[in-house]
Amino acid sequence: MIDKTSLWIVIIGLGIGSFFLRFVFTGLVGEREMPPWLLRHLRYTAVAILPALVAPQVLWPSGTDGQFDLPRISAAVVTLSVGLVTKNVLAAILSGAATLYGMLYFLG
């Protein structure tokens, strides 16, 4: 168990670090034009966030103590497939959620 002081130190430290990372791009760069290679890399940042958040729960689900789970793997495959075919993020998320909850309901 972590004590409250350590927890608040971590929270404040992460907040300062997050602010600094954002300030570098908005405050220091400001109105200056960014190089094309940086803009190209920044374009893929949003696309990388969702898989980075979801992958641990698909590969090592805490709900099953890290054991293989067919509903989660199926939902990930459906989400990826729908996203690749339709190029629609909302359709991919909704189809994956429907698959996950549908399989959890029917498999008990």
pLDDT, tens digit, for every residue of 1-28?
A: 788 999 999 999 999 999 998 888 777 7
Angle between helices 36-43 and 45-59 (to 10 degrees): 40
Residue 58 and residue 99 in contact, taking contact as beta carbons nearer than 8 Å: no
pLDDT tens digits for 27-65? 777 778 888 998 888 888 877 887 888 888 888 887 778
Token look-up 């404040």 returns: 12
Q: What is the pLDDT of residue 67?
A: 84
Q: What is the DSSP letter of 72?
A: H
Q: What is the pLDDT of residue 73?
A: 92
Q: What is the pLDDT of residue 74?
A: 94
Domain residue ranges of the chain, discontinuous segments joined by +: 1-32, 45-107
Q: What is the pLDDT of residue 12?
A: 96
- Checking if the pLDDT of 97 tops 90, the result is yes
User: What tokens appear for 40 in the block?
Assistant: 């190209």
- Its pTM stands at 0.60
